[in-house]
């Protein structure tokens, strides 16, 4: 197929381009014109990230052939700012904090531009409707809608909180994500995946693929046989499968070729011979002992991966003491992160002697990861290469939510293919591969038994969980513990017993997703508690208030509570929602539900138990007054770099514009364990704070001498150091820094954070303790369509105790995003698999696109009202603790409880799909009918 | 990124040139309208054709106007956005405008066309998946994958001899209810057929369109005095999603309480929109009481035969048909417009 010349106007400039007929506009814009602000989130028209304007109208460039836009005018995000001045929409997005990871932002802004062009002051419902093809996974849309509504307003006031330090790049298309990077002579890699859920690999023949022109390197699993896993205790993965495949989508071989189409073609030429094994597709299968073990090396007879049993106090005594004991069963379906940016890794291996020996060369890996440090460690292990020869860099990241918090096959494959070929290799997953990579929420079956006194006070809780872990360990050991350990918050549980078992199954591996381990039991417990309250005739809010843990206390399983504002959270959402006036009082079909939760601010124990700091930072001051922060913490869109910049700026008394943060680069930045477990603000924040305090101490020493005052009298603010009670005595920050440098030498300082010893002494006490816990309460309002079963969440009121909101806009964004994700989990998102039939063995993931995996759109996500509760944590940086994950936990139960308030059905299985709701309503109608018939009979 | 396989694209500038391009040549050609569905399928490795013809440059295929006789004519290449926003359509048939606005997303509608939506490939859980996915499952009736499986199995309903992939167009049921016709043209000439004759209830060959033929335009009859119409759909999200069930109903309401001339079409259940004459007969000419409407709705649901091949179980989708018919009839009764 020969290329043809087309002319079109791109961003106001006439362009003549040679394109092939089958190239999409997205490919041409990104790869020929370098306009990488055009994002590819799904490449199938389901996410809107690739939106561009075609003659002023938004279209999807991934579904438009370049040859069909000849003569047209195309506008991408890159051209929105004119002569260096941002477009009002771009300014408004910055001002309102409407970007988090920024991956949806270009498409979102371009669509918004078209909305404003046809409707100067659109109402909220029009904006939500018109943006409904642009998925955002971070913000919950609330701030985006605000930004669009107010785009034409003059922005007189400064923004309430500092603007994200990376946001300008996000709104202009300048931010480079991993897939936006390319290097000279770069090859494209692809991974061949297993079509079988469980099979032995008999042989792999790659000769035909190797012979295909354009293919440069091919690899199979036996080339990298070293096992790895993110947790030291579950090293059960290899870069590619060697002798056995464990789920449909497991990697088997990989190729690198001159372009992606050739790589795609080469995969078809690899011949793998499999010997099928019976698949283990459910937890019912997994408990059987007559099916093959997925990991034969485990100590269990069946496919259990980890079993935990712990008891604190005597639960039976507690039940005996209770006035009412209730038992319920719950199920939580599997769901996944669906971050908009697919995983991507670019590897470049350079060897001084043209030698392919790993020992000599140096490898640089750019990867869309939440955990550069773990990727770094694991690459060294698997590649058998000195870690000192490896550099891992996380570029701008398009959302993670836990889905990028361990090493993935593409990182090893890109690296190894680069080593083999001597050329840079980039692998970007397709949306379908992202679904197979999974590591999301474990499907969980749960049994709860709770004893209460008449006044609602809890006497004992017993919990039993079965977790569907999928094919590999991932963080599953931790999930198994968290499932039970975190259930003792936020209510006082005087006696507690739990049993938690994770199973291997032949499905994509489950792992950590926002609210790791705690989301499923929190749903179960909050729904359970609502039923208990009803039995006792108590207001559901009241039973919660009566059982709350208190500040500076210890749970029965030795979790140390310091700051705690859960009571304030519950009271805040009751007030904001008009709980007392509305609960149980709305017309049928409308209802309110409440739930509360707590979550860790980072894990007290580092996963490798090495006794090393969890986070480290270097802060240096330049002679020009610039301050540079180096910290391994990964900004994954949540704004951690902004928070670190703020902490530094505040401590040194300089404007935040003078602070630059270099993050997540294993060569440049001290180790931070990564962005997971809601640990970054707390831990990296403390590390940076410590370094900045060290520096300001030196500066104060110097200035005190010069101004002839005591160090304690000095204040650093507004780029000056001055005497507190006589501000005329001052030295500029730049001068102060120079004086300090003259006195102390080059100005830089290190800081680090290691949590204090926490937790009990029993086996398993390491999982659950955190230096601090956040607390949340939500009230959800729903409208249930009793004819379709559709549940519309029409409003959510949230209150969250984050200790101290270092950046209110970012905190609100985290809460609103968590609520969005919680609504998706509660109503529409689920990982389902094909069942075994006569024709097929089953185990094939049914939703492998963003069309079939249903994340809520801007129409399906309600306005989310946020109250921030501040409790000033004694150990958090300036009193701060987590906000990124905790606010998700109580969303599904608040919705479940609201559905009950609306229509009187108790749902025990997440998600509450339309179908399940309708079935429950029909069941209710039948039993009502039966009751009324019985009553009639007895009346006669 | 999933890359498209290589193919040629012909972009004719005139109708004769277009028809010339469509002439059977033994290699097969495929017309691409908006491409918003076709290109997804091609990225998923359906080996549709090595040659696409895109009629997007032919102005006459994009018209929306009122003809001399009062009929409304819509060119097949008019975009869904243009159809929905057209004053001609909004004035005479707002129900069509509303139905079109329920399709996909705003950006898709700016590119997707009304002709493309009427010719939308039928959908199935086991079909609209990637090449890898299908290779894992094996071939099916609708999709013969030479290397991976023969085409004699239906994964939705093992034992079925005929493919039941679902007609998922949101414009078809309402256009059918409104009595639309389509003009079909080939190098040999043109024919105008009722839209109802355009469809076949067969997941594989769901269009009565011969090789070399093209759906040129849609013709809506003169809006009859007193005709009311409405479209409704059920889906899980309020944007993006294809329908789990939809209905298009048109009819006259006499004295504000008696339906006559009802045409009820149920879409997204079988391989073509299904008309339910027995339900129409039950409803026509009688006072539209709640009981009668419910009976009519149940009758409509009993006439359609979903299988489990898109989201939702068979039972749920049948119930949704009854609900939609009921809801739409009530809407017709209470709508102010005559």
- A737-777 pLDDT per residue, tens: 999 999 999 999 999 999 999 999 999 999 999 999 999 99
Other CB atoms within 10 A of residue A728 CB: 6
pLDDT of B144: 66
Q: Considering only alpha carbons, which residue of chain B is nearest residue A188?
A: B1
Rounded to the nearest 5 degrees, what angle is found at the Cα of A681, between the Cα atoms of A677 and A687?
A: 110
Residue pointed to by tokens 């919660």: A544
Q: What's the pLDDT tens digit per position in B57-108? A: 999 999 999 999 999 999 999 999 999 999 999 999 999 999 999 999 999 9
My answer on whether A708 and A785 are in the same domain is no
Residue B193: pLDDT band with limits 50, 70, 90? very high
CA dihedral B172, B175, B179, B185 (to 10 degrees): -70
Query: Last residue of some domain: A753, A779, A810?
Result: A753
Spatial separation of the C-alpha atoms in residues B259 and B108, rounded to whole Å: 36
**What is the tens place of the pLDDT at every residue in A485-524?**
999 999 999 999 999 999 999 999 999 999 999 999 999 9
Q: How many domains is chain A built from?
A: 5
Q: Report yes or no on A313 lying in a domain.
A: no
- What digits encode the pLDDT tens for the residues A134-146? 999 999 999 999 9
pLDDT for the residue numbered B145: 57
- Give the CATH number of the domain where residue A147 resides: 1.10.150.120
Q: Note whether A694 and A741 are same-domain residues.
A: yes
Whether residue B210 lies within 8 A of chain A, CB to CB, comes out as no
pLDDT tens per residue, range A884-926: 999 999 999 999 999 999 999 999 999 999 999 999 999 999 9
Provide, rounded to the nearest whole percent, the portion of chain A with pLDDT above 90.
Answer: 94
According to the model, what pLDDT value does residue B1 have? 57
With respect to residue A251, please indicate whether it lies within any of the assigned structural domains: yes
Exposed / middle / buried, residue A393 (Cβ in 10 Å: 0-12, 13-18, 19+)? buried
Does one domain contain both A731 and A832? no
- Could you give the strand order of the β-sheet that contains A344-350, starting from the edge strand earlier in sequence? A215-220, A251-257, A187-193, A425-428, A344-350, A362-367, A390-393
Tally of CB atoms within 10 A around A320 = 12
> What CATH number did the domain enclosing A713 receive?
3.30.365.10
pLDDT of A873 reads: 98
Query: Among B312, B50, B4, which Cα is nearest to A917's?
Result: B312
The residue of chain B nearest to residue A835, with distances taken between CA atoms, is B155
Q: Is B129 on the interface with A (CB under 8 A)?
A: yes
pLDDT tens, residue by residue, A292-331: 999 999 999 999 999 999 999 999 999 999 999 999 999 9
Q: What's the CA gap between A239 and A253, in Å, rounded?
A: 10
Chain B residues closer than 8 Å to A261 by CB: 3, 5-6
Based on the domain organization, do A207 and A354 belong to the same domain?
yes
Question: Residue B316: which of A21, A261, A918 has the nearest Cβ?
Answer: A918
Residues 6+ apart with CB under 8 A from A34: none
> Cβ B240–A851 below 8 Å, yes or no?
yes
Q: How do residues B110-155 score in pLDDT, each as one tens digit?
A: 999 999 999 999 999 999 999 999 989 988 888 765 555 567 788 8
- Which residue has 């017709």 as its token pair? B332
Residue B338 has what pLDDT? 45
pLDDT average, residue stretch B239-265: 96
Q: Do A107 and B108 form a contact (C-beta atoms < 8 A)? A: no
Q: Cα distance from A855 to chain B (closest Cα, Å)? A: 8
| CATH code that applies to domain B227-334 | 3.30.390.50
Nearest to A839 among B133, B138, B240 (CB): B138
- Same domain, yes or no, for A408 and A268? yes
Give the mean model confidence (pLDDT) for residues A349-355. Answer: 79
Assigned domain for A536 exists: yes
pLDDT over 90 (residue A357):
no
Mean pLDDT score of chain A: 96
Same domain (yes/no): A454, A425: no
SS3 state of residue A346:
strand
Closest-CA distance, A911 to chain B, in angstroms, reads 12
Judged by a CB distance cut-off of 8 A, whether residue B9 touches chain A is yes
Q: Are residues A783 and A854 in the same domain?
A: yes
**Neighboring chain B residues of A820 at a CB cutoff of 8 Å:** none
Q: How many CB atoms lie within 10 A of CB B14?
A: 12
3 state DSSP class of A665 = strand
Domain range for A698: 615-753
- Contact assignment for A63 to B323 by CB distance below 8 Å: no
Look at residue A320 and tell me if it is in a domain: no
Average pLDDT over residues A332-347: 98
- B residues 149..188 contacting A (CB < 8 A): 153, 155, 158
A670-712 residue pLDDT tens:
999 999 999 999 999 999 999 999 999 999 999 999 999 999 9
Instruction: Note whether B331 contacts A: Cβ–Cβ < 8 A.
Output: no
Report the pLDDT averaged over residues A224-236.
Answer: 96
Assign B28 a pLDDT band (cuts: 50, 70, 90).
confident
**Model pLDDT for residues A186-197, shown as the tens digit of each residue:** 999 999 999 999
Q: What is the per-residue pLDDT across A413-447, written as a single tens digit (0 to 9) for each?
A: 999 999 999 999 999 999 999 999 999 999 999 99
Q: CA of B253 to nearest chain A CA: how many angstroms apart?
A: 24
| Per-residue model confidence (pLDDT) at position A23 | 97
User: Where are the domains positioned within chain B?
Assistant: 8-54, 227-334
Looking at A53, A79, A105, the residue that finishes a domain is A79
Q: Which residue has the higher pLDDT, B25 or B19?
A: B19
Task: Answer yes or no: do A126 and A236 share one domain.
Answer: no
For residue A155, the distance in angstroms to the closest alpha carbon of chain B comes to 29
Residue A650 and residue A681 in one domain: yes
Question: Is residue B311 over pLDDT 90?
Answer: no
- Please choose, from the candidates A98, A84, A80, the residue with its C-alpha nearest in 3D space to the C-alpha of residue A164: A98
pLDDT for the residue A246: 98
- Kindly state whether residues A712 and A773 are assigned to the same domain: no
Question: Is A160 found in the same domain as A132?
Answer: yes
pTM above the 0.90 mark? yes
Confirm if A669 and A662 have CB atoms less than 8 A apart. yes
Q: Which residues of A touch B153 (CB under 8 A)?
A: 839
Q: Examine the domain organization and report whether A591 and A506 are in the same domain.
A: yes
- Residue ending a domain, among A753, A786, A820, is A753
Pairing of strands A187-193, A425-428: parallel
């Amino acid at each position: 197929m020969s290329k043809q010349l087309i002319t079109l106007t791109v961003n106001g400039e006439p362009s003549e381009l040679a394109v092939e007929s089958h190239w999409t506009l997205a490919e041409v814009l990104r790869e020929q014109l370098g306009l990488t602000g055009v994002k590819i989130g799904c490449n199938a028209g389901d996410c809107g990230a690739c939106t561009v304007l075609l003659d002023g109208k938004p279209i999807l460039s991934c579904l438009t052939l370049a040859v069909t836009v000849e003569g047209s005018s195309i506008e991408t995000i890159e051209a929105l700012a004119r002569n260096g001045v941002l477009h009002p929409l771009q300014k408004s997005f910055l001002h309102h904090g409407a970007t988090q990871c920024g991956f949806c932002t270009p498409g979102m802004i371009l669509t918004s531009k078209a909305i404003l062009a046809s409707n100067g002051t659109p109402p909220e419902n029009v904006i939500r409707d018109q943006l409904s093809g642009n998925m955002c996974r971070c913000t919950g849309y609330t701030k985006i809608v605000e930004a669009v509504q107010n785009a034409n307003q003059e922005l007189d006031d400064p923004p309430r909180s500092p603007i994200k330090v990376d946001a300008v790049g996000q709104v202009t298309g300048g931010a480079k994500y991993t897939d936006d990077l390319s290097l000279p002579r770069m090859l494209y890699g692809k991974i061949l995946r297993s079509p079988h859920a469980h099979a032995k690999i008999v042989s792999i023949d790659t000769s035909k693929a190797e012979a295909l022109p354009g293919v440069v390197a091919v690899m199979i699993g036996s080339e990298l046989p070293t096992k790895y896993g993110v947790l030291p205790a579950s090293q059960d993965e290899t870069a590619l499968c060697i002798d056995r495949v464990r789920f449909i989508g497991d990697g088997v071989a990989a190729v690198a070729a001159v372009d992606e189409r050739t790589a795609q073609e080469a995969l078809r030429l690899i011949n793998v011979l499999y010997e099928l094994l019976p698949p283990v597709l459910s937890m019912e299968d997994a408990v059987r002992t007559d099916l093959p073990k997925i990991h034969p090396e485990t100590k269990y007879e069946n496919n259990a991966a980890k079993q935990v049993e712990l008891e604190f106090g005597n639960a039976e005594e507690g039940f005996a003491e209770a006035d009412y004991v209730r038992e319920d069963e719950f199920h939580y379906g599997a769901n996944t992160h669906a971050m908009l940016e697919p995983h991507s890794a670019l590897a470049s291996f350079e060897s001084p002697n043209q030698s392919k020996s790993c020992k000599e060369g140096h490898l640089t890996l750019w990867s869309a990861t939440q955990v550069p440090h773990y990727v770094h460690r694991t690459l060294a292990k698997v590649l058998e290469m000195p870690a000192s020869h490896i550099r891992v860099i996380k570029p701008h990241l398009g959302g993670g939510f836990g889905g990028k918090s361990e090493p993935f096959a593409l990182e090893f494959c890109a690296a190894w293919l680069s080593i083999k070929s001597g050329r840079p290799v980039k692998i970007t997953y397709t949306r379908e591969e992202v679904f197979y990579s999974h590591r999301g929420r474990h499907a969980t079956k749960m049994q709860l038994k709770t004893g209460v006194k008449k006044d609602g006070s809890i006497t004992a809780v017993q919990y039993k969980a079965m977790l569907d872990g999928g094919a590999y360990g991932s963080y599953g050991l931790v999930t198994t513990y968290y499932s039970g350990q975190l259930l003792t918050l936020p209510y006082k549980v005087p006696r507690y017993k739990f049993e938690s078992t994770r199973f291997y199954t032949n499905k994509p591996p489950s792992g950590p997703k926002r609210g790791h381990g705690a989301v499923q039991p929190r749903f179960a417990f909050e729904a359970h508690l609502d039923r208990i309250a009803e039995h006792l005739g108590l207001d559901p809010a009241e039973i919660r208030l009566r059982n709350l843990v208190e500040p500076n206390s210890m749970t029965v399983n030795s979790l140390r509570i310091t700051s705690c504002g859960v009571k304030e959270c519950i009271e805040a959402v009751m007030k904001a929602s008009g709980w007392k006036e509305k609960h149980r009082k709305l017309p049928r079909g409308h209802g309110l539900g409440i739930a509360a939760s707590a979550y860790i601010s980072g894990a007290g124990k580092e996963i490798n138990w090495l006794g090393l700091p969890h986070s480290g930072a270097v802060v240096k001051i330049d002679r020009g007054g610039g301050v540079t922060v180096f910290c391994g913490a990964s900004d994954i869109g949540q704004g951690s770099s902004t928070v670190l910049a703020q902490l530094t700026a505040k401590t040194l008394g300089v404007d935040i514009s003078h602070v630059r943060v270099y993050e997540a680069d294993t060569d440049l930045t001290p180790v931070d364990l990564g962005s997971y477990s809601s640990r970054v603000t707390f831990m990296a924040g403390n590390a940076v704070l410590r370094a900045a305090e060290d520096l300001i101490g030196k500066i104060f020493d110097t200035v005190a001498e010069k101004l002839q005052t005591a160090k304690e009298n000095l204040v650093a603010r507004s780029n000056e150091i001055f005497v507190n009670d006589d501000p005329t005595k001052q030295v500029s920050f730049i001068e102060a820094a120079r004086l300090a440098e003259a006195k102390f030498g080059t100005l830089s300082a290190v800081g680090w954070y290691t949590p204090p010893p926490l937790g009990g002494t029993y086996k398993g006490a390491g999982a659950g303790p955190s230096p601090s816990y956040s607390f949340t309460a939500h009230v959800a309002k729903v409208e249930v369509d009793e004819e379709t079963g559709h549940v519309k969440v029409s409003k959510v009121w949230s209150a969250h105790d984050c200790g101290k909101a270092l950046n209110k806009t970012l905190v609100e964004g985290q809460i609103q995003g968590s609520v969005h994700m919680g609504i998706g989990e509660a109503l529409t998102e689920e990982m389902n698999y094909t069942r075994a039939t006569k024709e097929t063995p089953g185990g094939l993931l049914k939703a492998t696109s963003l069309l079939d995996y249903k994340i809520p759109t801007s129409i399906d996500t309600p306005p989310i009202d946020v109250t921030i509760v501040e409790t000033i944590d004694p150990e958090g940086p300036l009193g701060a603790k987590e906000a990124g994950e905790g606010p998700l936990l109580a969303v599904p139960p608040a919705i479940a409880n609201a559905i009950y308030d609306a229509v009187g059905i108790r749902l025990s299985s997440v998600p509450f799909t339309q179908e399940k709701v309708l079935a429950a309503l029909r069941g209710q109608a039948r039993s009502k009918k039966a009751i009324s018939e019985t009553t009639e009979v007895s009346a006669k | 990124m999933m890359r498209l396989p290589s193919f040629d694209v012909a972009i004719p500038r005139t109708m004769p040139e277009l028809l010339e391009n469509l002439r059977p040549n033994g290699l097969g050609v495929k017309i691409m309208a908006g491409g918003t569905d076709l290109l997804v399928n091609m990225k998923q490795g359906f080996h549709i054709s090595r040659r696409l013809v895109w009629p997007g440059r032919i102005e006459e295929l994009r018209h929306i106007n009122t003809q001399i006789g009062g009929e409304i004519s819509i060119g097949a290449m008019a975009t869904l956005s243009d159809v929905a926003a057209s004053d001609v359509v909004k004035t005479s048939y707002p129900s069509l405008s509303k139905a079109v606005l329920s399709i996909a997303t705003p950006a898709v509608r700016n590119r997707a066309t009304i002709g493309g939506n009427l010719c939308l490939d039928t959908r199935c859980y086991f079909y609209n998946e990637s090449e890898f996915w299908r290779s894992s499952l094996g071939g099916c009736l609708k999709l013969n994958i030479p290397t991976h499986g023969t085409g004699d199995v239906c994964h939705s309903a093992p034992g079925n001899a005929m493919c039941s992939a679902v007609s998922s167009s949101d414009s078809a049921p309402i256009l059918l209810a409104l009595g639309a016709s389509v003009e079909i043209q080939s190098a040999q000439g043109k024919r105008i057929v009722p839209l109802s004759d355009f469809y076949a209830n067969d997941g594989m060959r769901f269009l009565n369109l011969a090789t070399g033929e093209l759906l040129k335009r849609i013709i809506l009859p003169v809006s009859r005095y007193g005709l009311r119409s409405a479209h409704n759909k059920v889906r899980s999200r309020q944007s993006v999603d294809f329908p789990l069930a939809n209905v298009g109903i048109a009819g006259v309401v006499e004295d504000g309480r008696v339906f006559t001339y009802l045409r009820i079409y149920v879409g997204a259940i079988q391989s073509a929109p299904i008309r339910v004459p027995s339900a129409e007969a039950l409803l026509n000419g009688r006072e539209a009481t709640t009981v009668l409407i419910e009976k009519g709705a149940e009758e409509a649901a009993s006439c359609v035969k979903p299988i489990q091949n898109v989201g939702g179980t068979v039972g749920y989708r049948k119930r949704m048909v009854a609900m939609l018919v009921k809801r739409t009839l009530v809407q017709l009764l209470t709508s102010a417009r005559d």
